[in-house]
Structure 1
Amino acid sequence: MSELLRVEGLKAGYGEARVLAGLSFKMEAGEVLALLGRNGTGKTTLINTLVGVTTRHGGRIHLSGQDVTRRAPEARVALGLGWVPQERNIFRSLTVEENLSAVARPGPWNLDRIYAMFPRLRERRSNLGSQLSGGEQQMLAVGRALAVNPSLLLLDEPLEGLAPVVAEELLHAVSRIVREDGLSAIIVEQKARRILKLADQAIVLDRGLIVERGTSTAFLADTSRFERHLGVGR
């Protein structure tokens, strides 16, 4: 496998406020990374910094062999970054199909393939974003990220706030995307065990630093890691 993402000494935050205190890690193409930690430890800030929407105070980011540290978010998308933020950021005044078409880039993830992954979106293709349920909006957010045909998919708490049956449906789709289709991903999720089953590697953040890293198998086998960093029963 070839290196897909390399982060070196990354320091970032919002304005003068620093959240990330100097992170370094790398990912290989085809890998899935679980990003774990309690609320407020820097997980979303890391995702946002990879996208390019925070204030960087130091360090570098390389994506697909290119230094994207100073590049605008749209340039990072062009290099293969797909993003599903917590806020979803769908166009509520556009239809499902318009949402997908507005961001589409050439590649294997076309409308038909996205609809095959999310049949509900095909059924609601003429509905406005504002007319969708929360689960359907999240499916649309993932579909929009796939429509740019990314090499790396960033998912920030994709199951948050969803009804259990909808969360399971979406989790199954994400599993197919990363396992059957081999798309690399970084996934943030509070219910760590669910995501570790999909991941190859995991890192745990605390106060803007990586405090633990390893294979997902090792994390699942060692419950003390959950007790120390994530809380019992995760």
Structure 2
Amino acid sequence: MAELLRMEGVSAGYAGAVVLQDISLSMEEGQTLALLGRNGTGKTTLINTIVGVTQHYKGGVELLGKPLQKLNPYQRAAAGIGWVPQERNIFKSLTVHENLTAIERPGPWSPNRVYEMFPRLAERKENMGTQLSGGEQQMLAIGRALVLNPKLLLLDEPTEGLAPILVEEVIQGIRRVTRDEGLSAIIVEQHPQLILAISERAVVLDRGTVVHEGTAAELRDDHDKLNHLLGVAR
């Protein structure tokens, strides 16, 4: 498969503060990458650096061989970056359907396909964003990213704060998009076993640097390593 994303020697942060230091990683088309680490290790900053909302100090970021670091976030979205931030950032003054149709781009993912994947949204397509539960807002945020028909989907803490039944619905949706549909994704998650089970590769950050990189299955099955890297012994 072709290389989709490459980060080479990237340092980035906010307002003069360097959070990421000399980050280098790559992923191929069709892969799912679990991005893990304890709180405050730079996971969200790495996602934000790909999106283009951090201060870039050095290094290169390429999508399918094309440099991104000089592009603004809108241009990166047009180049193929789909982003689901922690804050979700749905248009709360618009209906569910308006949220999806306002930004959709041509491609396999349409609002109707989003409704088929998340029936809760189909039932609430005329509801305003303010009338949705947290889980429904997360489903809508994922749907909004999908109707952009991206080449790479970035998900930052997609199950945070959700009830267990909604966590399962969201994870099944992500599994369908990545495993069944073959969309490449980078997923930040505080519950590593959830994401390692549906990912091919895993990267662990600590203090803004990569401290582990390998297959997701290897890390999932190595409880000692999980505990050492993440404080997770299960």
* Equivalent-residue separation in structure 2 for 1:221 and 1:131 (angstroms): 41
2:40 corresponds to: 40
Task: State the distance in 2 between where 1:232 and 1:47 align.
Answer: 23
1:225 deviation in Å? Answer: 1.4
Give the structure 1 partner of residue 5 of structure 2.
5
Q: Report SS of the residue matched to 1:103.
A: coil
Q: Is 1:151 paired with 2:151? A: yes
Shift of 1:233: 2.8
What residue in structure 1 maps to residue 187 of structure 2?
187
Aligned to 2:22: 22
Where 2:102 maps in the other structure, the secondary structure is: helix
Q: TM-score, normalised by structure 1?
A: 0.98
- In the alignment, does 2:155 pair up with 1:161? no
Deviation at 1:217?
Answer: 1.2
Unpaired stretches in structure 1, ≥5 consecutive residues: none
- After superposition, the C-alpha distances for 1:118-147 in whole angstroms (9 at most, x for unaligned) are 111111110100000000000000000001
Cα distance in 2 for partners of 1:119, 1:221 equals 34
Equivalent residues of 2:104, 2:147 under 8 A apart: yes
Indicate whether 1:218 and 2:212 are aligned: no
Alignment check: 8 A CA contact 2:224 2:233 kept: no
Deviations 1:91-131 (A, max 9, x none): 00000011011111110101111111111111111010000
Provide the rounded CA distance (Å) in 2 between the counterparts of 1:96 and 1:201. Answer: 33
Residue type at the aligned position of 2:118:
F
Partner SS state of residue 83, structure 1: strand
User: 1:95, 1:129 within 8 Å by CA — same for their partners in 2?
Assistant: yes
**2:23 alignment partner, SS class:** strand
Give the whole-Å Cα distance in 1 for the aligned partners of 2:92 and 2:160: 19
Partner of 1:133: 133
Matches of 1:74 and 1:232 in 2, distance apart? Answer: 37
Deviation (angstroms), 1:220: 1.5
Superposition deviation, residue 208 in structure 1 = 0.2
Residue 110 of structure 2 is matched in structure 1 by 110
User: Any runs of at least 4 consecutive aligned residues in structure 1 with deviations exceeding 3 A, and if so which?
Assistant: none
Native 8 Å contact 1:10 1:59 kept in 2 = yes
Distance apart, 1:69 and its partner CA: 1.1
Separation of aligned partners in 1, 2:56 and 2:48? 11
Please tell me whether residue 97 in structure 1 is matched to residue 68 in structure 2: no
The amino acid that maps onto 2:103 is V
Tell me the equivalent position of 2:60.
Answer: 60
TM-score normalised according to structure 2 size = 0.98
RMSD: 0.8
Q: What are the ranges of 5 or more consecutive residues in structure 2 without an aligned counterpart?
A: none
Q: How far, CA to CA, are the matches of 2:39 and 2:220 in structure 1?
A: 20
Structure-1 separation of matches of 2:225 and 2:194: 15
1:56 partner SS = strand
- Partner Cα separation in structure 1 for residue 27 and residue 145 of structure 2: 19
Letter of the aligned partner of 2:151 in structure 1? Answer: S
Partner amino acid, structure 2, of 1:185 = A
Paired residues, number:
234
Q: Quick one: distance in 1 between partners of 2:8 and 2:70? A: 14
